[in-house]
Amino acid sequence: MDLLDFEAKDLYFDRPDAPEVERLIKQAAEDYSSEAELPLLRAYFLAPESMNVLVALNRFYYYQHRLEDALSATGKALDVVRPAIGFPEDWRDLQPRHIEEVPPDLLTRVRLYLFALKAIGFLNMRLHRLDVSQSIFEKLVELDRMDRIGAKGLLELLQQCRAEVGEAATTGQ
CATH number assigned to the domain comprising residue 26: 1.25.40.10
Q: How many domains does the chain have?
A: 1
pLDDT at 162: 85
Identify the H or E element spanning 121: helix 107-126
- Number of other residues whose CB lies within 10 A of the CB of residue 115: 18
Residue 72 lies in a domain: yes
Q: pLDDT tens digits for the chain (173 residues)? A: 544 455 655 555 566 789 999 999 999 988 867 789 999 999 999 999 999 999 999 999 999 999 999 999 999 999 999 998 999 999 999 999 999 998 888 888 999 999 999 999 999 999 999 999 999 999 999 999 899 899 999 999 999 988 877 766 666 66
Residue 6 lies in a domain: no
Residue 3 lies in a domain: no
pLDDT at 33: 72
Residue 1 lies in a domain: no
Find the domain containing 107 and state its range: 12-171
